[in-house]
Every structure is written in C-alpha cells, then in structure tokens.
Structure 1
Amino acid sequence: MTALQGWAGECHQCAGLFRLGRDVEAALIMVDVFEGAQQSLLSAGAQTQQAWAQLLTQMLECQERQDWLGLADFMEYELIQLLEEPSA
C-alpha cells in the first residue's frame, strides 16, 4: 500500500465517522490526516499549496460550525483529489 492509498483510506474512514455523527472519534483521525497531508504537500508547487491552504480553511470552518456532512464531503472528495494531484 502506498502512502497516498493510506491517506485516501484514512480520509474515507474519517468522513464515514463524521457522517455517522461520531465527531470526536473522527476529529482525532482528522488531525493525523491533516498532518500527513501537510507533509505530503510540502514539495508540491505553489498553486497546490495555496489550494491546500484554502481547503484547510474551508474544512476548519465546517468543523467550527459543526457541519459534519460538509466536512466529510471536503475530506472524502476535495482532499483526496488534492493529494492525488502531485503524484500525477
């Protein structure tokens, strides 16, 4: 399993927990996912890093509003897509 596949799996797991209303458990996984994403995107270009900063801001805003479904969507779709871009 590659690191990207591992992060994609973590994103799916975390999103699933948010959708089930298990926000505390999901938030713990989310911290690891965000740290891993940050490390993975360190060598990415400026556009990708800017997209990461915008996405992170949107996800944290969802968390602040307790919009767990919105956060799950961002993690499961946009974040995975962003993580796949540098490896393409």
Structure 2
Amino acid sequence: MTEPLSLDLMREDVAAMIHIDSAEIRDDDNLMDLGLDSMRTMNLLLIWQERGVDLDFSQIATRPTLAGWWQLAKRRINAIAEARL
C-alpha cells in the first residue's frame, strides 16, 4: 500500500522532481521559480493520483506553492473521507 499524501510527502516529491533537498523548499516558495515546470507538475499529479488524491492541473497552476497545493489536496482528502461515511 502506498503512503497517504501529506504536506511533507508532497515536499519530498517536489524536491525529488527538481533535484533539490526537501529542506530547501518552504511552504510559500513559488515552485516554478525553483525550477518546477508543467511537465514535472503533471508527473507529480499522477504520483499523487496513485496515492488516492486526484488534483486538477488548472487549480494547481493558480497556486504554485506547497501551501496552496496542500490546501487543495487537504480539501480533496476531506471530501473523499466524507464520501466514505
């Protein structure tokens, strides 16, 4: 079973995708300024989808920070949990 998505896991995934240490990425850093491009972002979305969190690229593109992405992911995670009740 895959590890559930978390802010720390998102940070690690982004860091691996742009080949930097995860400690170098702050929650409010613009990830595009750090070197993340749209193709790598799409790959991240596929990874996260495999972990059960399907995020929309258009929403992600308007919030290019970990804090913004986690807010969207958390909302989706909560919606999935509520649907299972």
* TM-score bracket relative to the smaller structure: 0.3 to 0.5
Q: Give the TM-score normalised by structure 2.
A: 0.42
In proportion to residue count, which structure has more helix?
1
Return the structure number with greater relative CO, CA threshold 8 A, min gap 6.
1
